[in-house]
Amino acid sequence: MSDKIEKVSIIISKGSLEAIYPGLIMANGARAEGIEANLFFTFFGLDAVHKAHHEHIKLATVGNPGLHLATWAGGFPGVASVMTRFMAHKMEKLDIPSIPEFVEMISDTGAGLFACKASVDLFGLDKDDLIEQVQDIITVGEFYERAAGGQIIFT
């Protein structure tokens, strides 16, 4: 007998393409299964919901062992942009939406999107710097209150 997951709270803490998409995919999958989902954007993960950055997320090429042969060239100028375009093209072929589209789509399903207060303060941001889908800027304690009774996923 297995217990049904009823709620997930997903923490997105990194601001690269390969760090943001897993959390978005998990949230989208949860909502498709009727599972309550909340996304908590903290530290560099705020880039996914930052008005000035969310359309310019790049693939991390330096130190990314998943890129195999391409990782040795990751530090050269332009490599991150080229690899990001390559991945975006492959994802487009699979009909995977861009980060801004994906965030909007997930928000439209009723998922909660929240920014970490400590990170917002650290980077000198406020609610006006974030996309409209972010419901609130909350503390870690408030995040735990929302997560109570569910699963927490850290990406």
Assign domain 7-55+98-154 to its CATH architecture. Answer: 3-Layer(aba) Sandwich (3.40)
C-alpha to C-alpha distance for 138 and 155, rounded to whole angstroms: 19
Q: Which three-class secondary structure state does DSSP give residue 15?
A: coil
Closest CA to 143 of 116, 125, 105: 116
Q: What is the pLDDT along the chain (155 residues), one digit of tens a residue?
A: 568 999 999 999 999 988 999 999 999 999 999 999 999 999 999 999 999 999 999 877 666 666 655 565 656 667 777 777 888 888 889 988 999 999 999 999 999 999 999 999 999 999 999 999 999 999 999 999 999 999 999 98
pLDDT of residue 71: 60
CA dist., res. 26 & res. 20, Å (int): 10
**Whether 124 contacts 103, CB under 8 Å:** no
Hunting for tokens 């709270």 — which residue is that? 9
The predicted structure's pLDDT at residue 11: 98
pLDDT at 78: 72
For position 60, what pLDDT does the model report? 75
Residue 131: per-residue pLDDT: 98
pLDDT digits (tens, 9 = 90+) for 64-100: 666 655 565 656 667 777 777 888 888 889 988 999 9
Numbers of helices and strands, H then E, in the chain = 5, 5
What is the per-residue pLDDT for 29? 97
Rounded Cα distance between 118 and 92, Å, is 34
What confidence score (pLDDT) does residue 90 get? 86
Q: Where in the chain is the domain with CATH 3.40.1260.10?
A: 7-55+98-154
